[in-house]
A and B are shown apart, each in its own frame.
Chain A
Amino acid sequence: MSKLLEIENLAVTFGRGEDAVEALRGVSLSIEKGETVALVGESGSGKSVCALSILQLLPYPLAHHPSGSIRLQGEELVGANQKQMQALRGGRIAMIFQEPLTSLNPLHSIGDQIAEAITTHQLISKQKVLERVCELMELVGMQDQISRLSALPHEFSGGQRQRIMIAMALANDPDLLIADEPTTAVDVTIQAQILELLADLQKRLGMGILFITHDLGIVRHMADRACVMQAGKIVEARTVDELFANPEHPYTQSLLASEPKGHPTAADAAAPVLASLDDLKVWFPIKRGMLRRTVDYVKAVDGVELSLKRGHTLGIVGESGSGKSTLARALLRLEKSEGAIQFKEQNIDTMTENQIRPLRADMQIVFQDPFGSLSPRMSIAEIIGEGLDVHGIGTTKAERDQMIEDVLGEVGLDAASCDRYPHEFSGGQRQRVSIARALILKPDLMVLDEPTSALDVSVQAQIVDLLRDLQRRHNLTYLFISHDLKVVRAMSHEIMVMKSGKVVEQGNADQVFDHPSQPYTRALLAAAFDIRSVNNDSLNK
């Protein structure tokens, strides 16, 4: 069988002369008809550059190819002229992107946008176009939405938008579909549905798929072959079964070994309660009309009860918008709320900001985005030392410097990095700085708001290990929020499943994971661990 796509020794360099950055250095891969090839690698490994160079969509002439060729059924694409490429893009090669909301034009109806994908490449009558649009909607499983063709993208959910993107990509029966992290921006249950749809479409239409992802679970589930990329090179390219059974390259091995596993450190079941919530509500008013009367509320958190035992980790899981983060912020009194909040046997919900300030040292938070949570204009020492100033810990500068140095050592950073600025660090290192900033105050409670979600898998595992280690040494109590159930499982003693601001299920971690009692929890677990969508009413509501 002839190869659908052949990439040979492809190199991509950005810039010229001294400042040149080699993004790809000699990548070779091939895709056959009806085959799914996964391109796996951590951020910055060159996956997306590879995909964009197939479509010749890189910022030429800043980017250029010192060597290599890309052939689509024998036709050379490197250096092909604009006209040739325009016929190919969206025609024989189609691409779907990570973020469906920004990839769709917010000002045009989805019907028009799908139709445009057709009419750009085919000269057919309006009637035919409409028929084809309906056909495509059916193909991507949105037959019940055909009446909404004139609706705008924001009126659809994330999963539906991704389906619309897929419909646009399929408009001209492409031979090759490039999917660039198509499910990274959607929830696990939606992810499972989208992946099932893609697999099903491939079976029916027989196209080749180049699937770009960082998630090894998806690779195992979706792909026939996988190419592991590291620093612009493919280090290992084999069939998926072989790759997972017997990885050869050390990088692949480390990647496979780095999936968060293990169990939380043992905790004393009879430990005293450190913090508790009773019927906590965070309602955001919806105001309408001239007088801005409150007509309704967005119930971000709606009557949640929990109690956190000292030295335990409570994992909160749920899809985006379920109120996990709001709950955590309300617990720290960073968000206005109703209901009793107890911390260290004190009612903090009635305290003023000044009264809470001394308690703030005992309850700290680590955020998801390691870029956004560090002030870009302060050095690491200033960032970590700020809390010491506020709480008057340590009297002399030397004493504080020593504390900063100690805490940096504790989170595994070099003490010499004190004077550097956040942008000089990698994502994982920045997250360590965030943890150090919280840890230096010797808190009792640490809220970890998706601390690993923005990180590569190998770094995730390191952070999980670090957090477990710190918990053991300092008897820390964690409130661990994540949508990634694997990480939560590796960290938590107790689990709380949230949906639409309410608690769906709550209990001992092993019990919830092994014997979920609620259908929603079961669906969530199936989607996360087996990438299987469960047709369940509780999901589609």
Chain B
Amino acid sequence: MNDSDWPSHLSSEELRTATIAIERPPADTLAIKNRMERAARILSQLDETPRVPSLVVVKPPLTAIRVLPIKEEMNVGRHADCDVPVPESKAMSRQHFVLRVTDGLLMIEDLGSKNGTFINDPKTRLTQSRALRDGDMIFAGEIAFLFVNACDE
């Protein structure tokens, strides 16, 4: 394909394909937009943007407390023995959730916590292991965690 020619000549076929595509209703991207604004506000509080995959511990509503690099496996909870102890919390369980790197993806699993683990939506409780997306917000008790999947891009 020759970049310098396009879009000087737009064929009827290209136009027809584009017209068909726009008949499809646009996706609702408002939730993503809100997540990005939240992430921007959290990241703006840091001295520097994380350069490795990290978890930003956030005290609601949006106060960044500290940044933790992601390890192969890390359990998170109130207890001091956790890989990520969160002594600031009163509502998290002692062992609340675990993060595991599996096939290059960061998986999160609730460890039977009393108050539950929620991803992005404080109303939808995590019931099975799932892969985290860059920018996902984990809610556990009264503490939140922003996943920042920083790496070479």
- Tell me whether A and B are bound partners: no
Q: Which residues of A contact B (CB under 8 A)?
A: none
